[in-house]
Amino acid sequence: MSNATVVVVTSGKGGVGKTTTTAAIASALAKEGYQVCAIDFDVGLRNLDLIMGAERRVVFDLVNVVRGEASIKQALVRDKKLNNLYLLPASQTRDKDALTEEGVASVISELRMYFDWVICDSPAGIERGATLAMRYADEAIIVSNPEVSSVRDCDRIIGLLDAKTKVAEDGGRMPKHLMITRYDTERAKTGDMLATDDVVDILSVPLIGVVPESKDVLKASNVGLPITLSDETSPAAKAYMEATRRLLGENIPVTIPEEKKSFFGKIFKGRAA
């Protein structure tokens, strides 16, 4: 019997890369051989199914399970490539009020028995969907762009993680990891963009990874593959794979994989890393 670690991927602000991060980390963990379930908590606006390429195979969803209309096993969609990776989709036809705290609690506690890792993709905002996504988490990955509004919203989310979660209510402190996405090394160098150290200083959350801005992320979402499965040589995929190793407890320095720029860079990509 497993006893999964439940991780919430959250940010407050929309569009910073929560779903991309959820799909990338869940797939990277599955590639390491763990039993992994990714849950989409964005009821009414689901997208994790699309990013993971499972949209045509969704039958039941989280709301069906919470309301007892389907069992968890019936609702889980198995990944096409990795048979130890599952998705529990959000409902597209209901709204976020369809989720109840008790319902989510029982879903999470059942999933804990079947999986090693449960990755919860939070909706944007600080309302019910977001607070339920973090409610039963053991750890949090906070996704931020190096940009003022995103960092501010993360600070707000950190406050909620320390107040509204089960861990916090039981007197504990939720372990948090900061994932900076859409990072542009050049612009940070010239001082046109917040550097990773700036964001870490402001939020006081240890860094788990820095994902460079990369065209490969859009390409991966076009074809419905998590970036860590679509192109392992992509700097974004490398950053997510490194972050996953840190999540697993490895103590490795954070690097910022770079986009290969030149024709020669492509040819000699083995050395460029």
Partner 1 sequence: MNILSLFGKRGESASVAKNRLQILLAHERADDGSDALLISSLREDILAVVAKRFDIDPDSVRLEMDRTGDVTTLGIDIELPAAKAS
Decide: is 1 part of the binding site for partner 1 (CB under 8 A): no
Taking only Cα atoms into account, the Rg of the chain, rounded to an integer number of angstroms, comes to 18
Q: For residue 54, give the H/E element and its range.
A: none
Decide: is 233 part of the binding site for partner 1 (CB under 8 A): yes
d(CA 217, CA 263): 20
CA 49 remoteness from chain centre:
13
d(CA 226, CA 241): 12
Q: In the set 57, 156, 173, 189, which binds partner 1 (CB under 8 A)?
A: 57
How near is the Cβ of 56 to partner 1 at its closest, in Å?
Answer: 4
Task: Name residues contacting partner 1, limited to 249-268 (CB under 8 A).
Answer: 263, 266
Q: In the set 3, 190, 222, 251, which binds partner 1 (CB under 8 A)?
A: 222
Q: Which stretch binds partner 1 (CB under 8 A): 15-23, 29-37, 63-71, 109-117?
A: 63-71
Q: In the set 2, 45, 50, 81, which binds partner 1 (CB under 8 A)?
A: 50
Cα-based distances in Å from 238 to 32, 108, 209, 216, 242: 14, 29, 10, 12, 6
Decide: is 106 part of the binding site for partner 1 (CB under 8 A): no
Q: Based on CB atoms, which residue is closest to partner 1, 173 or 269?
A: 269
d(CA 126, CA 156): 8
Q: In the set 1, 191, 223, 251, which binds partner 1 (CB under 8 A)?
A: 223
Q: Which stretch binds partner 1 (CB under 8 A): 2-10, 34-42, 172-180, 213-221?
A: 213-221
Q: In the set 29, 36, 39, 61, which binds partner 1 (CB under 8 A)?
A: 61
Residue 95 near residue 43 (C-beta atoms within 8 A): yes
Q: In the set 221, 237, 241, 256, which binds partner 1 (CB under 8 A)?
A: 221
Task: Count Cα neighbours of 65 within 13 Å in the Cβ-side half-sphere.
Answer: 29
Q: Based on CB atoms, which residue is closest to partner 1, 246 or 260?
A: 260
Cα-based distances in Å from 89 to 38, 52, 53, 169: 8, 11, 12, 28
Q: For the chain, first and last CA: distance in Å?
A: 39
How near is the Cβ of 137 to partner 1 at its closest, in Å?
Answer: 26
How near is the Cβ of 92 to partner 1 at its closest, in Å?
Answer: 6
For 128, list phi and psi in degrees, rounded to 5: -45, -50
Q: Based on CB atoms, which residue is closest to partner 1, 66 or 208?
A: 66
d(CA 221, CA 218): 5
Decide: is 58 part of the binding site for partner 1 (CB under 8 A): yes
Residues that bind partner 1 (CB under 8 A): 50, 55-61, 64, 69-71, 73-74, 92-94, 218-219, 221-224, 231, 233, 263, 266
